[in-house]
Amino acid sequence: MNNHLLFKQNQQLAGAVNINSNLMNYTVNVPISLMKSIEGKYFVGTAPNLRFGNATNAWARLYNPPNSGVNLFVNTWTVSDIFTTPYSVQIWFNSTPPGFIQFSQSVTPSNLTIIPQPQSHIQLQYAISVSGLPTGGIKAYGRYGLAGTTINSEEEGKFIFPPGGSYLIFLSNPERPTLLATGNIAFGWWEEPIMQ
């Protein structure tokens, strides 16, 4: 799959990456995630220290608030640092998750040359030590990981959510549910304004 965009130098984009726009004109293929970063639309974030086990679960999601004015394009996600137990990962679209929702403070634009820094319209939410499963929405797919392994996926922006939608990663350890565990979930995404 070709996940590149054709990039033509122009003065506005050249200034975003602090290069001299008076140099010769050029055309190159650029990965879409790099292009969205140059445009100030790409963000990364993590939900660290997600506790689960002992008959509880944890989750993290990208939530597009109803009044955001943008569409969410999920690019990449990673589940890591679960060392004590095998674990299950379920991916849910547009579901209502269980537990007390917390907001991650670990969200940043990937292009740090833009001043003022772009602010994400998307919320990275999470909950720890929850009972039950998400309700509503769609359980789209799942993965399984052994203790000490990392699971990640490059989605290339193919999962697109309008305002009110969400992309949720749900963690559990069904093989050894009495073992306590912690892990991290990280995301990379971009946002596009909705054309009226």
User: 18-22, 32-36, 46-50, 138-142: lowest mean pLDDT where?
Assistant: 18-22
Predicted confidence (pLDDT) per residue in 160-194, tens digit: 999 999 999 999 999 888 899 999 999 999 999 99
Predicted confidence (pLDDT) per residue in 107-153, tens digit: 999 999 999 999 999 999 999 999 999 999 999 999 999 999 999 99
Alpha-carbon separation of residue 162 from 70, 107, 135, 181, 184 (angstroms) = 7, 20, 19, 33, 26
3-state helix, strand and coil shares in percent for the chain, rounded to the nearest 5? 5, 50, 40
**Residue ranges of domains in the chain:** 33-193
| Residue % of the chain over a pLDDT of 90 | 82
pTM above 0.95, yes or no: no
Q: Note the pLDDT of residue 64.
A: 98
